Amino acid sequence: MGVTLRLYDTASRAVRDFVPLEPGRVSIYLCGATVQAPPHVGHIRSGLAFDILRRWLEASGYDVTFVRNVTDIDDKILARGAEEGVPFWQVAMRNERAFTWAYDVLGCLPPTYEPRATGHVPEMVELMQRLIDGGHAYAADGDVYFDVRSFPEYGALSGQRLDDMQPAGDSEASIKRDPRDFALWKSAKSGEPQWVTPWGPGRPGWHLECSAMASRYLGPAFDIHGGGMDLLFPHHENEIAQSKAAGDGFARYWMHNAWVTTSGEKMSKSLGNSLLVSEVVKRVRPVELRYYLGSAHYRSMLEFSDEALAEAASGYRRIEGFLRRAEESLGDRPAATAVPAAFAAALDDDLGVPQALAVLHDTVRAGNTALADADAGAARRARDEVTVMLDVLGLNPYAEQWAAGADDGASRRALAPLVDVVLAQRQAARDRKDFAVADALRDGLASSGILVEDTPVGARWSLAEES
């Protein structure tokens, strides 16, 4: 398998040829949700971006192992449980289900493995022991800390110098060798969950969890580590330090997706501008939200607005409208075919989805022209290419995930009997050459947002926004 895919590697700050450790196989670890609250659209963008990467790798012939973890113990989860007067795991499980629902409703393929942090404490203990034995970590009053001075490469991923970094400012600074040292393990506090370790009871630190889970499921070295750019420092920087200090090769490529913003600010609950996935999909279909969130380059900020979301939804409906017209005109369903070369080139260039979508829409326009010219061969080729491109992007309306909504859902089905009656009356008027009445019926439908198109096989109708 020759090198075609090139990806931007955060660690080297360059676009690199992607060459997997094992020919024909790709291993990916994606930092998943910290489940202290239900997901907003900013949370879910990361899952969508790496779902597209996975789909493109699989379409390119790779066997992909995809790990997306769940951080189910964390300071914020514990605080939320205390605030609600419920166990931490109740908060975590409730929100983990909300994240799983959001991933599923937006068409993300399920991960190969989805490990929870609390299920991998033995692996964390083993990793800490390796670090202590190697002189890279130390125990202090029941805590275990990573000694950042013991790892000369610390700061390389984020491009920071250790001496320029600000201390964390936590209450444990006095027991650390260096105030920049980070916690691998936190000693037990009253009312908190705890696990037994050689250094005393306690709970894991956030950074330790991902290193332990990544190596458990992907081995000491793997291909791609992904996550949001907000995780680059300190989380990913600390993962690299503890894993490589322990002797693991760890990730060979680092990929980071940009934020979703509102009014120019990163979407977050602290800013009060979050938009829950469960609420947004009440305003547009899930497939339209997926189209919108996936349409920008994964490394570009995406400014969220209802106007931009509505525009994206209309763009997707235009694609659906072409496929519907093609099915009615051609009388068959799409056949398997290769993606256009320009589409493949766009995705091979650091997952260039905006350029790939431009190819898709060009093909839709060519297909519509072919239908208007009654060129069945060209229309069929365009239809088949559009369908396979949508497959790669997780947007194929014929797929089981979206099939129920591919005809505009309940609203179109509810309108169909009424529109069919009006179209029958219009056809009867045309048959008796009463074109004034026929035109009046057509115009009446148009004023209600229903467009009528006369085709060689009869009149067809569509909602104005899908045309």
pLDDT, position 170: 61
- Residue-wise pLDDT for 454-464, tens only, equals 755 467 777 76
Burial call 446-456: b when 16+ CB within 10 Å, e when fewer: eeeebbbeeee
Q: What is the CA radius of gyration of the chain?
A: 27
| Confidence category of residue 448, pLDDT binned at 50, 70, 90 | confident
Contact in structure between 115 and 151 (CB atoms under 8 Å): no
Residue 1 has pLDDT above 50, yes or no: yes
What average pLDDT score do residues 3-27 get?
96
Classified as helix, coil or strand, 250 is strand
pLDDT, position 369: 97
pLDDT, position 174: 77
| Structural domains for the chain | 6-266 (3.40.50.620), 305-403 (1.20.120.640), 409-466 (no CATH)
What number of H helices and E strands is found in the chain? 15, 15
pLDDT, position 408: 47
d(CA 364, CA 379): 9
